[in-house]
């Protein structure tokens, strides 16, 4: 009997959205619905587990923590990329790290929920209705505007296609983007500076790496239009949070719509929660039932595969 920890089940749905019966009699499941606060708590709580199922990057697994988990043999992360796991350290300690499938459509949909919500002041106007009031804002249309995509991968390209259906002109940039790839996605490849200065909406869809950390800071925000919206549903550290708050507060750009943060959960009182002009959501891009069904369904298969000695969706190299 192996002991399996299922971490960070904020919505208390992990056992509901997947069939875990394949592990009956083989594994004892323990679900954690609250975040483990810090490495010491994580080390103490997880020391007796053979398998850990992690929800994306909610709980970090640096080498210092992995060295304190003597029984851990299998670490499953939902999705196939997790920058919060030290893969080299896991290999040194003989811990197998594997991932699951995902549905990128959920993040695409949430990106557009943010763009439309900000453009039409949906939060404020819904509040007006709840308070028996009526319209007080003037929304912004998207047709004929320019959408800039920073990172034209699967998600970025899909966001661009939606923009095209709204009648937007789509620009794209990333470090390795070619004209051919951009054109195949229905976008125009431009320089980073041109994308920032020409776009009415800039949407970030890059992988977090040393090259992209703080990719957008005060100098980049200063290149944007005063009427522009910056959207980040990728990773928080790609956009400098302090510079973003200041840029919105001082009118350098019109606003921001943000779903990802340097620290998650975002601390209470953080200015990203309350600065006028910033629409912030608590990392909901992948939080959808159909995505969770894939995540946890594949996690079950990973654990079964590990117990049976069959091939897994193993993650190799640094995420």
Q: Point out the residues that are catalytic.
A: 235, 264, 283
Peptide bond between residue 265 and the one before it cis (omega within 30 degrees of 0): yes
Closest CA to 203 of 241, 172, 227: 172
Rounded distance between C-alpha atoms, residue 112 and residue 293, angstroms: 22
């Amino acid at each position: 009997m192996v002991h399996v920890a299922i971490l960070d089940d904020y919505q208390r749905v992990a056992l509901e959205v997947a069939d875990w019966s394949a592990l009956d009699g083989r594994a004892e499941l323990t679900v954690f619905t609250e975040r483990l606060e810090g490495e010491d708590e994580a080390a103490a709580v997880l020391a007796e587990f053979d398998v850990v199922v992690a929800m994306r990057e909610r709980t970090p697994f640096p080498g210092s923590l992995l060295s304190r988990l003597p029984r851990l043999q299998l670490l499953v992360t939902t999705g196939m990329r997790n920058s919060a796991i030290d893969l080299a350290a896991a290999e040194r300690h003989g811990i197998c790290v594997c991932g699951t499938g995902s549905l990128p459509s959920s993040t695409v949909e949430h990106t557009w929920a943010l763009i439309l919500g900000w453009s039409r002041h949906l939060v404020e106007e819904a509040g007006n209705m709840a308070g028996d009031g009526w319209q007080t804002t003037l929304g912004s249309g998207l047709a004929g505007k320019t959408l800039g995509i920073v990172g034209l991968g699967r998600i970025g390209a899909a966001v661009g296609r939606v923009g095209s259906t709204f009648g937007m002109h789509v620009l794209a940039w990333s470090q390795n983007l070619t004209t051919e790839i951009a054109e195949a996605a229905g976008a125009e490849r431009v320089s980073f500076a041109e994308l920032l200065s020409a776009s009415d909406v800039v949407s970030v869809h890059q992988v977090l790496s040393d090259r992209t950390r703080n990719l957008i800071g005060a100098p980049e925000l200063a290149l944007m239009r005063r009427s522009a919206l910056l959207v980040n549903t990728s990773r928080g550290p790609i956009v400098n949070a302090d510079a973003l708050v200041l840029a919105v507060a001082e009118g350098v750009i019109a606003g921001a719509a943000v779903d990802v943060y340097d620290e998650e959960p975002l601390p209470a009182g953080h200015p990203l929660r309350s600065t006028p002009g910033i629409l912030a959501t608590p990392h909901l891009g992948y939080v959808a039932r159909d995505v969770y069904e894939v995540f946890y369904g594949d996690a079950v298969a990973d654990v079964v595969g590990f117990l049976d000695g069959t091939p897994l969706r193993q993650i190799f190299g640094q995420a």
